[in-house]
Amino acid sequence: MIVAAIIICSLCCCHSVAALSSSPAISRRNALRTSYTAAATPILHQLLSPDIANAASNLGLANKLSKRDPSMLKNSVFNIPPGPQHYPEFMFGDWDVTMKFRGFVFPSTSISKEKLVANVGIPGFQKLSIATVGDVGREVTNYQMSIDKSSKMEDRKLSLSTSINGHLGYDAVREVIYDPKDNPNRISIDFIPNRTRNANRIELFCNGRESELVSAEESASGQTVFLCAEYIRQVTFGLSQEFGVARQVSGNYGHFWTWKSPKDSSSSTITGNLLTAAYLDAQDPMFFEEPSKPVVVYSHDLVATRR
């Protein structure tokens, strides 16, 4: 039987929200450096109950997460372009979502934490380097999500624009360009000129998707559990210190979502968790020290209330 609290208590909380949000003057990398102590044990805590493997195939996403091992969250090798993500019935409709930062972990055994926090190119160390989570250290962010009943697909224009604006604390997105019928694996995000130093435009490329639905009968709580993952390559264009030369930064990361159905038919709330695994780019000097496993994993708790 599956313990229903699938990823809600996912990261070891010794690396907490206070570490990244205590002062706006502290950079993300400095906060990571000072909050990580020698005594901290960088392991994922209770990603899933071990007995989730009883209800999942050996290759399933739920089984992968049940290992409680961040090295299992390897980057996807791009082969056949994936199709669009489809969502289960309990997620259909319009939602107000609250995202709360829970913690982070440095899982690499090949590269020291000191070397990693000195690397400004790792996704999450700068604002907007992870589009969906524009400010990783922000304690609480509110955004909107909509899942269409007929297509079973998410309105990415809505969720990305409201999430980015919510993380920044002001309206910065001018337009999100996305047509899942034409190409479900590319999204362009244009920003209002001079609204943010970190990005003028972001291009997102999805290199892989996974999903799995665990039935209520297999769940200890009696709630249906939906898991899905996306492996993203992000290219960010912005201003550089050299006049007339655009700044271009590439980053790679994977999102791993877990959503649980309402506890009963009268409830208008669903809960979830988002794990974001940051990988080294192929052009990074440290790439061959950790070519596929994540070097940082962030965790956020999610609560969605039906509008």
pLDDT digits (tens, 9 = 90+) for 32-81: 555 543 323 333 444 444 434 444 455 688 888 877 788 889 998 767 89
pLDDT-based confidence at 30, cuts 50/70/90?
A: low
Task: Give pLDDT, residue 77.
Answer: 74
**Where do the DSSP E strands lie in the chain?**
93-105, 140-147, 173-177, 186-191, 201-214, 225-239, 246-260, 269-279, 296-306
Output the CA torsion 174→175→176→178 (10° steps).
Answer: -170
Mean of pLDDT values over 229-255:
85
The DSSP call for residue 89 is: G
Q: How far is CA 247 from CA 135, 172, 240, 258, 269, in A?
A: 19, 18, 5, 34, 41
Q: Is the pLDDT of residue 144 over 90?
A: yes
| pTM recorded for the entire structure | 0.85
Q: How many whole angstroms separate alpha carbon 282 and alpha carbon 233?
A: 11
Name the nearest CA neighbour of 215 among 206, 207, 224, 204.
224
Say whether pLDDT at 10 is over 70.
no
The pLDDT assigned to 42 comes to: 36
pLDDT confidence band for 306 (50 / 70 / 90): very high
pLDDT for residue 219:
76
Residue 26 has pLDDT above 60, yes or no: no
- Tell me the C-alpha distance between 209 and 103, whole Å: 24
Lowest mean pLDDT among 15-24, 169-178, 246-255, 267-276: 15-24
173-219 pLDDT tens trace: 999 999 999 999 999 999 999 899 889 999 999 999 999 998 988 87
pLDDT at 38: 31
Q: What is the mean pLDDT of the chain?
A: 83
Residues in the chain: 307
By the 10 Å C-beta count (0-12 exposed, 13-18 middle, 19+ buried), 268 is classed as: exposed
Q: Is 285 helix (H, G, I), strand (E, B) or coil?
A: coil
Give residues with Cβ within 8 angstroms of 158, minimum separation 6.
Answer: 144, 145, 146
State the pLDDT confidence band at 253, using cuts at 50, 70 and 90.
Answer: very high
Does position 244 have pLDDT exceeding 70, yes or no?
Answer: no
CB 115 within 8 A of CB 128: no
The dihedral of CA 120, 123, 125, 131: what is its sign?
positive
133 pLDDT more than 90: yes
Look up residue 89 and give its two tokens: 């019935």
Degrees to nearest 5, angle at CA 261 with 68 and 217: 75
What is the structure's pLDDT at 287? 96
